Structure 1
Amino acid sequence: MSVIYVSTDVEVDGPIPGPHSMLSFGSAAFLADKTLVSTFSANLELLPGASGHPDTMAWWAKHPEAWEACRQDLRAPAGAMADYVKWLDALPAKPVFVGYPAAFDFMFVYWYLMRFAGRSPFSFSALDIKTMAMVMLDKEYQTITKRTMPKRWFDPLPHNHVALDDAIEQGMLFCNMLAECRR
């Protein structure tokens, strides 16, 4: 086993890290055969001087249960990211970041890792599920959404904007796609 796929989802209060905070993140480590090896999640304290973006906060107002879930048991980012690096380093293979959309989720996770832990076990790269779907379906990138993906790729799991739940859901999606690719 050379790699382990770490499906990761973030919940945030704005479009970029620094001026805005990562509120919560969850990661689910999967083997290619869809075995869930381990999970990690943390709800984070807000960054000093950061504030919620009005558009993002309006979105949160429509999802009060998810907001409540990511504001419980808050941890300081430095401690959470140090523990996350330890968790990633303890996985049985090299971690590969998997996201949907990877550019957004990875931007926050990478920024927090570098700022608070000083390094990223993922290096500089992330695997994007939407790009993988574009290639598998031979469609234009902008036409790909979860609604346009084949139903067979999805397990009956909730997408509730709780970071760990969403990370598990998208990790199962990725593994289903990977299995189809390799057939």
Structure 2
Amino acid sequence: MSYIVVDIESDGPIPGDYSMICFGAVIVDEHLDKTFYGKIKPISENYVPEALAVSGFSREETLAFDEPEKVMLDFEEWIKTNSKGRPIFISDNNGFDWMFICWYFHHFIQRNPFGFSSRRLADLYCGLEKDTFAQWKHLRQTKHTHHPVDDAKGNAEVLLHMKREMGLKISFK
């Protein structure tokens, strides 16, 4: 089983009507050196300028990004090449990140290598702390920049901290 932390940036609140602009992923292990970064051409004319601004890209820049099918096929291949056993999707906000990744996989390549479920990092942390309001973002070592690889890496660092320092029973082998 491999845990893969994913972070996405989009130009709106939902897939289909809006577009996933870019995403990053990291395999959770002691090195955090297996990463993926994809930039995706918009699939819709719709976009929310404030949402797009978070990604740091202009609309014109995004129009030159790769076709969604190519990026999702490349991501699927990266998952197959870099993960061992079943890949487990985990993110800071899996209600948002999962929604886009799952939709893009099924819409563009008719399958999702992660299957039908995901995990939320904050819920794991709150469970360990036995506090639904526990704060965890201070545990990131990599600065949260809204570059999705940086953000995925920072979240993976939190997962490693939960294993090493808090006793989370999880295997990264």
1:114 equivalent among 106, 110, 118: 106
**Residue correspondence of structure 1 range 5-20 to structure 2 within 5 A:** 5-20=3-18
- Quote the residue 1:130 is aligned against: 122
Q: 1:67 maps to which residue?
A: 56
Contact 1:85 1:117 in 2 (8 A): no
Aligned residues: 165
Task: Work out whether residues 10 and 52 of structure 2, in 8 Å CA contact, stay in contact via their aligned partners in 1.
Answer: no
Q: Deviations over 1:43-65 (max 9, x none)?
A: 11000x34113xxx22544x5xx
| Residue in structure 1 matched with residue 167 of structure 2 by the alignment | 181
Shift in CA distance, 43/150, structure 1 to aligned 2, threshold 3 Å: closer
Equivalent position SS for 1:17: coil
SS in 2 for 1:74: coil
Aligned equivalents of 1:163, 1:20: Cα separation in 2:
18
TM-aligned CA deviation for residue 178 of structure 1: 2.5
Q: Structure 2: 5+ residue runs without aligned partners?
A: none
Give deviations 1:73-121, integer Å, cap 9, x for gaps: 6110010001111111112412111101111101100000111121111
Query: What TM-score, normalized to structure 2?
Result: 0.85
The amino acid of 1:104's aligned partner reads: F
| Separation in structure 2 between the aligned mates of residue 154 and residue 67 of structure 1, nearest angstrom | 21
Kept in 1, the 8 Å contact 2:94–2:118? The answer is yes
CA distance in 1, matches of 2:78, 2:88: 13
* Cα distance between partner residues in 1 of 2:148 and 2:58: 9
Per the alignment, do residues 150 and 107 of structure 1 end up closer, same or farther by CA in structure 2, a change over 3 Å counting? closer
Structure 1: tracts of 5 or more residues without a match: none
CA contact (8 A) 1:25 1:163 kept: yes
Q: What percent identity do the matched residue pairs reach?
A: 25
| Structure-2 change in CA distance of 1:150 and 1:121 (3 Å) | closer
The question of 1:46 aligning with 2:38 is answered no
